[in-house]
Structure 1
Amino acid sequence: MRQVHDQLPVPFVTIDRKFYILEYTPEASELLNLNPSFLESVDQDSHDKVIKWVNPDAGKVNIEINMHKESEVFLIDLYVHWKNDLQAEVIMMPKYEANNHVSGMLEKLQKRLNDTNFELLEEKDKLEAAVDQNNRLSAPYIRLTTDTALIPLFGDLDERKLFAIKDQVLEEAHHYNHDRILFDFTGVGAFNPESLHLLRDIFKSLFYMGKEVVIIGIKPDQARKLNEMSIQMNLKYMHSLQKAIEKYCS
């Protein structure tokens, strides 16, 4: 095995049919810890591939294999050309640059995805804030008199909407110190058991604050769901908002 300098300035070796290295360039020596047998520098997983394709019968081939230098394993494009039945010229082109290029592209793509995700997160936060604001507006706190306030409710009462209005209702009831809070259910659609629990929490908090809770415009199916709650907290019911205003605001 001898080093030559008059070949291509790339990792290059000449091997025989049994894979013994006959000649090598300095670049090949830098790339690999050269051993007498070329196969000793080929990673074990690629041995069968090299044996299958690097032979005179296969002729000129280009294959991708793993090679190693000490503990480092790297990908190689192997270009093989048989000069005759006894010797082959082998060029080894590491795929570092290609891998670096792909890695660079992946890093750029990841950055774009991160930027996009951040933008989507910002938009999601804005949308959630808008939904919460809309939910709060669906239960405005209206001062009717010095001791009576009205909270008209609109739409389906889901958990998110009730979470959004709960603090607002309690804070304003405390701030304005109304004795009586009228909840108008005329514009309310459906509400589920989870929503019922949140309604109970709101009414119970007002009850503990010493407020009288009056429920207006309740539908029969809603009344059945609220029946047990009304027994526990002595909730009052009225058929229409007009009747309630006549009674409490005249």
Structure 2
Amino acid sequence: MSASNHLPVPYFELNEKYVIVNQSIIASQSFKRTNSFMELLDVGSTNKVQQYLETRRNGKIEANMSTIHSPFVLFTMHINWVGMSAHVVCIEQDGSLQELIQQVNKQSQRLAKTDFELLEKKEELEDTLDRVKRLSAPFITISAELAYVPFYGELDEYLILMNQGVISSKVHKADYDYLFFDFSGVGSVTEQGLKALLRLVQALQIMGIQIRLIGLKPEHALFLQGNDLKKRAEFNGSLADVLRKHM
């Protein structure tokens, strides 16, 4: 199975007739089964996307698509042609992490109005809010070409999953050339966390972003031995080194 099947976003590989020859698992779970990519588009977006694909240009375009859960969802499509094949990454225009926080906040407000018997559940919910905050990876714009994401705490699969929506959304809204992931604030690293980060890096690279890893500690470097991240991303020293080189 190709690594592209495990990308954390909907991904399609199309032939010259826009027939789907490969797609990520998330794409198959999000859209109906069909051979034609055009059948996944809203009627009003079909001509727009087809005309763009016919130019064989690499770039991005907004279009409405019909998902399993909704007939009308706005996506940004990042398109990259390799020979006669088009590689399309679809980013839904919303923030999954922000939705999660809003849902938790609403639940917290509801529990705050209940009686004392629900105090224990309220405390558990507050712990969840704290965990979401701890696992947040802030997206910081350094310049028009450079963005910076420092990780904090344990780098596990949950941290990546909770933040990949925000990172992907921020990236597709700007024309960054480089994205730096900073490990300075990372304690331990899990194998599943590295695999999730690798999938995120692959998706960002399809969108044309060059990835750099900085702030690695000796124990992190040892853990990265044998991981494909070493092939996908470059390694730099520190944020100060980055700023001296790029600013």
Q: Normalization by structure 2: what TM-score?
A: 0.48
Q: Normalization by structure 1: what TM-score?
A: 0.48
Q: Which has the larger radius of gyration?
A: 1
Compare relative contact order (CA 8 Å, sep 6+) and give the higher one, 1 or 2. Answer: 2
